[in-house]
Amino acid sequence: MPRTSSDRTRRKILDAAYESFYAKGFTRSSVDEIAAMAGVTKRTLYNHFESKDALLAAVLEMQHSLSLSRIQKHQDRYSGNADRFVTVLFDELRKWSEKPRWTGSGITRLALELADLPGHPARTMARRHKAEVQGWLASMLQRTGAPRANRQARELQLLIEGAGILMLISGDRTYADTGAALAKRLLK
């Protein structure tokens, strides 16, 4: 189905907002700046999104879909036993962290930035995203024959998030290796 002009405008706004939110965070990004980056007026932006909060929630919804499709696209690389699964996961985390100007998971960073606003629509979206990632981890662990896949997915997600945050804070990429080693112990 062809995209309409309105759809293209909405997508330009979402892309500009993502770029700004990811680079500067939610509070330091302005609607004026986002509209200018998208090449639209502020009025046009507000015709598509009722508020900056709604725009952020829409950005996270888009990123959620992209992120899940990205990890699911390469599911065959994760197949095998639980040890192999963990190795690939943490290797990918390390590779991702080595990209220039890496600033960690945008969804995690934005949720932390809004920690004092538990009902914020972006926090709701972040919770949904993390729950779906945990569900994917559990399904992949079940494929490997892991005996307690749901519990182990929760533990694995904690290690992934923790390693990512500590790599971001310290710049020390070996937290990915530490996370992988701990995950392998938990999966035995």
pLDDT per position as a tens digit, 5-15: 899 999 999 99
One DSSP character per residue, 81-103 reads -HHHHHHHHHHHHHHHHTSTT--
Q: Which domains does the chain have, with CATH numbers?
A: 1-49 (1.10.10.60), 57-186 (1.10.357.10)
Residue 45: its pLDDT value, please? 97
Range 165-184 average pLDDT: 96
How many of the other CB atoms lie within 10 Å of CB of 5?
Answer: 7
Residue 74: its pLDDT value, please? 64
One DSSP character per residue, 122-153 reads HHHHHHHHHHHHHHHHHHHHHHHT-TTHHHHH
Residue 1: its pLDDT value, please? 52
Residue 78: its pLDDT value, please? 75
Contact of 32 with 42, CB cutoff 8 Å: yes
> How confident is the prediction for the chain on average, in pLDDT?
91
pLDDT above 90 (res 64): no
Q: How confident is the model at residue 112 (pLDDT cuts 50, 70, 90)?
A: confident
The lowest-confidence range among 31-35, 45-49, 64-68, 153-157 is: 64-68
Report which of residues 132 and 78 the model is more confident about.
132
Q: Which of 88, 86, 115, 112 is nearest to 168 (CA)?
A: 112
Range 42-57 average pLDDT: 95
